[in-house]
Amino acid sequence: MNTEIHPALVGSLSSTAPSEEVINFSPGPTSLPKAVEAQIAASFNQPGFTSLSISHRAPEFLAILDHAVSTAREVMEIPEEYEILFTHGGGHGQFAALPLNLCAEASDIASYVVNGTWSARGRDEADRYCNVHTIDGRDPETGKFTTFPELTEANVNAESKYLYLCSNETVNGIELHRLPKLPESLKHIPLVVDASSDFSTKPIDWLGCNVGVLFACASKNIGHPGLTMTVVRKDLLGKASPLCPGVFNYTTNSEAGNLWNTPATFNIEVVGMVMDWLVKEGGVHECERRSIAKSNALYDVIDKSNGFYATPVTNTSLRSRMNVPFNIAGGDEALTNKFLIESWDKGMVGLRTLTPFGVGDYLRASLYNGVTVDETKRLAAFMHRFQIENS
């Protein structure tokens, strides 16, 4: 077999397995729950217009928008103190929008916990617009992104307009299963959270954790690329830099009811469908229970493999339930390729995708809302069998 050109090795998702057996473990964009995908497909076959072809100011779309906002508020238990905005520009748009909305002056300080690829990217973008104070979240012994620092007066700048963190580092596999509460002396600093890859999979204590802004690009758990959900506490509106572009300005968008310019209408409808699905499935608490079951199934195989598989985060309380990174026989290239080809042949795709940061040292199984517990168990069983056959 010529492994050099096998599609599995270049990140192809087009497995030759029967389509009903294909499972998409991609880190996002990825598949939505099957019931939601069926609902989307059906919406194109109904008479009348879809949300792709109606004015965003038509009553039909206003009902869709209102539904998406109110079900998201219900599912995520978002208090009335917060505005729910649908913003443009993906996660990267918010990397820039945050300092532009919360730091009126470029000299204003913002503290950034950098403990992974995406928080580093968010920090680097903010550095262009405000005075960034970095809290180095690497493991002090290895210099690697495998941990999360304790937040104290010693490392958080008390003058910060906000404290930024990423609640799930998608590439590195580090998750805060609950948001931190800052010590009393830092309670005045609002948290700003990049929840792009874990939003809707666990409850959030919005007021108790002093969440100021939380954003999630839709294309992992709640929808499609091109839309970001940004939840902003109302007392933080009206503080933007005069340089903040209108489409990024939280105040402008909130005053215009998400209609300052043309929003991503179809994507907003899909978010509403996902939220309806979550309500039907038992809500965010049930989603968390499933996320624990799914990730445990994989971490169990890894931990019991006598070192055949390894995952970088050893602190189990920080292991991501969304993205499980693992390598095979210390990263052995031939075995890794064999694993990728065999799993792909069986319909398990997305375990190695190309990213802006390369393919990385680890394969990664992403376990968003579109992946079921049973599907994850199929991957776990495959991994276990592969280990027995190859060690």
Ligand X SMILES: Cc1ncc(COP(=O)(O)O)c(C=O)c1O
Considering beta carbons, is residue 177 or 377 the nearer one to ligand X?
177
Least distance from C-beta 63 to ligand X, angstroms? 27
Considering beta carbons, is residue 92 or 177 the nearer one to ligand X?
92
Least distance from C-beta 181 to ligand X, angstroms? 21
* Interacting residue with ligand X among 194, 232, 297, 367 (CB under 6 A): 194
* Interacting residue with ligand X among 31, 101, 111, 170 (CB under 6 A): 170
Q: Does 173 bind ligand X (CB under 6 A)?
A: no
* Interacting residue with ligand X among 15, 196, 230, 305 (CB under 6 A): 196
Contact characters 200-219, ligand X, x per CB under 6 A: -----------------x--
Q: Does 197 bind ligand X (CB under 6 A)?
A: yes
Q: Does 175 bind ligand X (CB under 6 A)?
A: no
Q: Which residues pair with 138 in a beta bridge?
A: none
Considering beta carbons, is residue 186 or 371 the nearer one to ligand X?
371
Binding residues for ligand X, how many (CB under 6 A)?
A: 11
Least distance from C-beta 196 to ligand X, angstroms? 4
Chain positions 294 to 323 lying near ligand X, rule: CB under 6 A, are none
Concerning whether 194 is annotated as a catalytic residue, the answer is: yes
* Interacting residue with ligand X among 23, 32, 151, 166 (CB under 6 A): 166
Least distance from C-beta 351 to ligand X, angstroms? 16
Contact characters 77-116, ligand X, x per CB under 6 A: -------------xxx------------------------
Least distance from C-beta 134 to ligand X, angstroms? 17
Considering beta carbons, is residue 221 or 254 the nearer one to ligand X?
221
* Closest C-alpha among 277, 270, 250, 233 to residue 78: 233
Q: Six-digit token pair at 21? A: 């057996």
Considering beta carbons, is residue 170 or 251 the nearer one to ligand X?
170
N residues, the chain: 391
Choose the catalytic residue: 161, 202, 220, 338.
220
Q: Six-digit token pair at 272? A: 């509403």
314: Cβ contacts below 8 Å, ≥ 6 apart: 146
* Interacting residue with ligand X among 8, 22, 23, 28 (CB under 6 A): 28
User: HEC string of the chain?
Assistant: CCHHHCHHHHCCCCCCCCHHHCEECCCCCCCCCHHHHHHHHHHHCCCCCCCCCCCCCCHHHHHHHHHHHHHHHHHCCCCCCEEEEEECCHHHHHHHHHHHHHCCCCCCEEEEEECCHHHHHHHHHHCCCCEEEEEECCCCCCCCCCCCCCCCCCCCCCCCCCEEEECEECCCCEECCCCCCCCHHHCCCCEEEECCCCCCCCCCCCCCCCEEEEEEECCCCCCCCCCEEEEEEHHHCCCCCCCCCHHHCHHHHHHCCCCCCCCCHHHHHHHHHHHHHHHHHCHHHHHHHHHHHHHHHHHHHHHCCCCCEECCCCCHHHECCCEEEEEEHHHCHHHHHHHHHHHHHCCEECCCCCECCECCCCEEEECCCCCCHHHHHHHHHHHHHHHHHHC
Choose the catalytic residue: 118, 206, 277, 344.
118
Q: Does 267 bind ligand X (CB under 6 A)?
A: no
Q: Does 137 bind ligand X (CB under 6 A)?
A: no
Q: Does 360 bind ligand X (CB under 6 A)?
A: no
Contacting positions for ligand X (CB under 6 A):
28, 90-92, 118, 166, 170, 194, 196-197, 217
Residues labelled as active-site residues: 118, 194, 220
